[in-house]
Amino acid sequence: MKRGSQGRILLLLLIALAIGAFFVFDLGAYLTLANLKARQAELGAYVAANPLAAVVAFFLLYVAVTALSLPGAAILTLAAGAIFGLWEGTLIVSFASTIGASLAFLSSRYLLRDWVKARFGGRVEAIDRGIAKDGAFYLLSLRLIPAFPFFLINLAMGLTAMRLVTFAWVSQVGMLPGTIVYVNAGTQLAAVESLSDILSPALLGSFVLLGLFPLLAKAAVGWWKRRRAYRGWRRPRRFDRNLIVIGAGAGGLVTALIGATVKARVTLIEKGEMGGDCLNTGCVPSKALIRSARAAHEIRTAAAYGIAPAEPDVRFGELIERIHRIIAEIAPADSVERYTSLGVDVRKGHARLVDPWTVEIDGGERLTARAIVIAAGGEPALPPIPGLAESGYLTSDSMWERLRGRETVPARVAIIGGGPIGTEMAQAFARLGSKVTQIEHGPRLLPKEDEDASALVEAVLREEGVDIRTGHEAVRVEGKTLIVSSDTEAAIPFDEIIVAVGRKSRLTGYGLEDLGIETGRTIVVNEWLETRYPNIYAIGDVAGPYQFTHFAAHQAWFAAVNGLFGQLKRFRADYRVLPWVTFTDPEVAHVGHNALSAKEAGIAFEVVRYDLSHLDRALAEGANRGFVKLLVAPGKDRLLGATIVADRAGELLAELVLAMKHGLGLNKLLGTIHAYPTLTEANKYAAGEWKKAHKPERLLAWVERYHAWRRG
Ligand SMILES: Cc1cc2nc3c(=O)[nH]c(=O)nc-3n(C[C@H](O)[C@H](O)[C@H](O)COP(=O)(O)OP(=O)(O)OC[C@H]3O[C@@H](n4cnc5c(N)ncnc54)[C@H](O)[C@@H]3O)c2cc1C
């Protein structure tokens, strides 16, 4: 048995023994008002004869009763007044009750917190976040209202992440008024007929008001802070618009659309191409490139399907034109015309925040709105590598235009970065025939994925000829040669070098600095996506914490609704069931927790894995490398997350996203008919693996006996 569990069992036994003794020996009979009254004179005489011993004994008794959550603390508090007087009694009870409460808090934490975290991981995280922010206020309110059982507060708070010091001092302060009332009543013990005499309805009412005070004070502080944010700014008396949206990428477009749909007057301002990064330089062109690369790969590996293979004749110029054609085909959906027809006032130009309600376009026209949503996106981060600036490097922003007109695939491509964009590009260019070298300073590609997922992708890329240099730092560029180092330096000659080391939020040049809007790596927003000005929101790549099109669109709903209806009700953005996909072949699709993030968050999980090697459809497709890996709450039919590495993993994931979002367990998945032969059967088989691992062995043994008996 582990030492931790031994300690827990020992503590539990001690507590059980002490509580057992209390009831077996009927010690509670001593802690009654009648007994206290009957023995008041006797106790008083003892205290007079042994003042120090009496204080110590009383103190320890009080600590024990409160630490063990035994009934009788109220009687003891009265006793403190009766035998020590108001001031000494208050002093003793105040410290003894705080120490006792803290011991109960610590025991509850030691005995139960891990278990509660393992069972209710996600909810505990949310509660802990709330406690970190406002826990002291809540505790103070609970302590001030004596109607809340003292011992329950101790035990419940122990299950949260509240710091002991906070718990102790807030408890001491919060319990003080009640303590004084009870100790004072104890000084006139003869007049007290029952405990309910002490708290008359009027006094109880006053305590409730006192208890509500911290919460009211908190609300007032919040209101004052919100007002203070606007100090120095003059709010317009009326507004031209309900909502102004800066940036017409995924986030901005969806925000504007929601606003217009609910009949608000919305202006959307875009300085570049409508559709933002995803359409023009991100998802769409990269996925179109990947599709061409797949075609080339299939020609090269056609022998696996009984067809004569060939080295594909890649017409790079046509390939790049296809990419631009696809962008052009999608563009009307994001166009000025479409959004205008949907009721959005679209303006082309550079938006700049002038004050918390006013936005200026191209230094000219000024528009005002009650709410502003910043969806200004991001751009590729550039590492400070000497010589890079002169190298003619490409990024995802520049490459689609810069490669236009090039008729042949670049022979040698160096890619700096082992994240999703770098890895997608590395495989695509290798499949198109480039000799690709990919540099990653960390120990592996796709570091946010579990190791087994990134190892499989890495293995496939290496087999396809990508020279992957993990643990390597890009040191400098000399002409058309990249110098990298791990233990020693190495030279990598290239024709094109692609920088894909991540994306940074766009934070300058449009007024954030002038308004003092807080920024770190992104614009700082709270759970309602508000910046320091509660009417200015930020979403998408500019706000993070994730950088995906669907994430920006998801946040857009919260920003639009909070911006337009926040006076009535605000909604906290919720990212618990967020899927994402890296479009390598095989794809890596991910939702919720993987083992890496669950471990980091301290969430207990069990892993179920189904390998695609024997999946009929995957075999027929020649795509049977990969797996479905599910994270499940131990002992429960609750999905914590999933990672799929497979051909079309992004499509396979949708079913699991739905299951997670709507709390459907693996039994439900298993009970759902999946068409044969499809790749989605892999999800069902993974659920089957879970079921097999939890089959009721004992029951089955009885069933076996039953069958034997039936056979006669
Ligand atoms: C190569 C690549 C591949 C990607 N693949 C995927 C993928 O497969 N799946 C996925 O989900 N995500 C993918 N992404 C990420 C995705 O593109 C972004 O997360 C998404 O575009 C973010 O949307 P956004 O609205 O926050 O910002 P953006 O799309 O960047 O839009 C911001 C807009 O604001 C405008 N703007 C900025 N400042 C101003 C101003 N002052 N005035 C007026 N307009 C302004 C910009 O011109 C821009 O059009 C990829 C990204 C890249 C680079």
Look at ligand 1, atom 23, and give the residue with the nearest C-alpha. Answer: 250
Could you report how far apart the first and last alpha carbons of the chain are, in Å?
A: 45
pLDDT score recorded for residue 342: 97
Around 294, how many Cα atoms within 13 Å sit in the side-chain half-sphere? 15
* 210 has pLDDT over 70: no
Residues 6+ apart with CB under 8 A from 219: none
Query: Best of 283, 504, 558 to mutate for ligand 1, by most ligand atoms within 8 A of CB?
Result: 283
**Alpha-carbon separation of residue 14 from 5, 21, 105, 680 (angstroms):** 14, 11, 16, 53
pLDDT score recorded for residue 39: 85
What does the DSSP 8-state code read for residue 34? Answer: H
Strand 489-493: give its sheet, edge to edge: 473-478, 481-485, 489-493
504 C-alpha to center of ligand 1: Å? 11
Q: For residue 412, list its beta bridge partners.
A: 435
Residues 6+ apart with CB under 8 A from 391: 477, 479, 480, 497
Render pLDDT for 372-391 as a digit per residue (tens, 0 to 9): 999 999 999 999 999 999 99
pLDDT band at 57 (very low <50, low <70, confident <90, very high): very high
pLDDT score recorded for residue 422: 98
Look at ligand 1, atom 12, and give the residue with the nearest C-alpha. Answer: 548
277 C-alpha to center of ligand 1: Å? 4
Shortest-distance atom of ligand 1 to CA 350: 42
Structure tokens at 228: 């203070």
Distance in angstroms (rounded) separating the CA atoms of residues 333 and 328 = 10
pLDDT score recorded for residue 241: 97
Most confident of 21-35, 144-158, 623-637: 623-637
286 C-alpha to center of ligand 1: Å? 13
pLDDT score recorded for residue 207: 62
How many C-beta atoms surround the C-beta of residue 316 within 10 A? 18
Angle of the 451-463 helix axis to the 420-432 helix axis, nearest 10: 20
pLDDT score recorded for residue 142: 83
Shortest-distance atom of ligand 1 to CA 541: 26
581 C-alpha to center of ligand 1: Å? 16
Look at ligand 1, atom 8, and give the residue with the nearest C-alpha. Answer: 283
Helix/strand/coil percent split, the chain, to 5: 55, 15, 30
Shortest-distance atom of ligand 1 to CA 583: 8
CA dihedral 270, 275, 276, 281 (to 10 degrees): -140
Pair type for strands 241-246 and 266-270: parallel
* 190 has pLDDT over 80: no
**Residue 350, SS3 per DSSP:** coil
Residues 6+ apart with CB under 8 A from 175: 94, 97, 98, 101, 143, 150
Interval 470-483 mean pLDDT = 96
Name which of 334, 198, 148 is nearest 257 in CA terms.
334
421 C-alpha to center of ligand 1: Å? 14
Interval 69-75 mean pLDDT = 88
In the block, residue with structure tokens 């077996």: 24
Pair type for strands 587-592 and 579-582: antiparallel
Look at ligand 1, atom 53, and give the residue with the nearest C-alpha. Answer: 282
* 1 has pLDDT over 60: no
255 C-alpha to center of ligand 1: Å? 14
Name which of 97, 57, 89, 95 is nearest 73 in CA terms.
97
- Amino acid making up residue 168: A
Cis ω before 356 (30° cut-off from 0):
no
Average pLDDT, the chain: 92
Shortest-distance atom of ligand 1 to CA 287: 8
* 572 has pLDDT over 80: yes
In the block, residue with structure tokens 């991981």: 121
655 C-alpha to center of ligand 1: Å? 27
pLDDT band at 27 (very low <50, low <70, confident <90, very high): confident
Q: For residue 198, list its beta bridge partners.
A: none
What does the DSSP 8-state code read for residue 27? Answer: G
How buried is residue 36: exposed, middle or buried, by Cβ count under 10 Å (0-12/13-18/19+)?
buried
Structure tokens at 434: 């480039």
CB-based contact 273:377 (threshold 8 Å): no
Interval 313-335 mean pLDDT = 98
Query: Best of 257, 278, 401, 537 to mutate for ligand 1, by most ligand atoms within 8 A of CB?
Result: 278
How many C-beta atoms surround the C-beta of residue 233 within 10 A? 14
* Complete DSSP assignment for 161-210: ---HHHHHHHHHHHHHHHHHHHHHHHHTGGG--SHHHHS-HHHHHHHHHH
Look at ligand 1, atom 10, and give the residue with the nearest C-alpha. Answer: 548
Interval 398-427 mean pLDDT = 97
pLDDT band at 26 (very low <50, low <70, confident <90, very high): confident
Shortest-distance atom of ligand 1 to CA 283: 5
331 C-alpha to center of ligand 1: Å? 14
Interval 183-206 mean pLDDT = 71
What does the DSSP 8-state code read for residue 559? Answer: H
Shortest-distance atom of ligand 1 to CA 349: 43
* Complete DSSP assignment for 120-172: HHHHHHHHHHHHHHHHHHHHHHHHH-TTS-HHHHHHHHHTS---HHHHHHHHH
Cα 196 from chain centroid (whole Å) = 47
Shortest-distance atom of ligand 1 to CA 550: 11
**DSSP collapsed to 3 states, 59-114:** HHHHHHHHHCCCCCHHHHHHHHHHHHCHHHHHHHHHHHHHHHHHHHHHHHHHHHHH
419 C-alpha to center of ligand 1: Å? 17
**Residue 269, SS3 per DSSP:** strand
CB-based contact 47:81 (threshold 8 Å): no
- Give the least confident one: 11-15, 551-555, 573-577: 11-15
- Amino acid making up residue 567: Q
pLDDT score recorded for residue 3: 62
pLDDT score recorded for residue 204: 67
Interval 21-34 mean pLDDT = 83
Within 6 A (CB) of ligand 1 lie 246-252, 269-272, 276-278, 282-283, 286, 350-351, 375-378, 396, 421, 506, 510, 540-542, 547-550, 552, 583
Between 24 and 262, where is the model more confident? Answer: 262
Q: Where are the beta strands (DSSP E) in 313-390?
A: 345-348, 351-355, 358-361, 366-374, 378-380
How many C-beta atoms surround the C-beta of residue 459 within 10 A? 12
280 C-alpha to center of ligand 1: Å? 9
pLDDT score recorded for residue 197: 67
CB-based contact 342:257 (threshold 8 Å): yes
Structure tokens at 145: 């209202």
pLDDT score recorded for residue 37: 82
* 220 has pLDDT over 70: yes
Structure tokens at 185: 């009543």
Distance in angstroms (rounded) separating the CA atoms of residues 533 and 539 = 14
CB-based contact 22:68 (threshold 8 Å): yes
Distance in angstroms (rounded) separating the CA atoms of residues 615 and 586 = 15
Share of the chain above pLDDT 90, in %: 74
* 121 has pLDDT over 70: no
Shortest-distance atom of ligand 1 to CA 580: 11
pTM above 0.95, yes or no: no
Interval 277-285 mean pLDDT = 97
Q: For residue 474, list its beta bridge partners.
A: 484
* 508 has pLDDT over 70: yes
375 C-alpha to center of ligand 1: Å? 9
Share of the chain above pLDDT 70, in %: 95
In the block, residue with structure tokens 């969430």: 603
Look at ligand 1, atom 2, and give the residue with the nearest C-alpha. Answer: 282
Look at ligand 1, atom 5, and give the residue with the nearest C-alpha. Answer: 283
Distance in angstroms (rounded) separating the CA atoms of residues 269 and 365 = 12
Most confident of 23-27, 220-224, 477-481: 477-481
376 C-alpha to center of ligand 1: Å? 8
Q: For residue 207, list its beta bridge partners.
A: none
Shortest-distance atom of ligand 1 to CA 351: 42
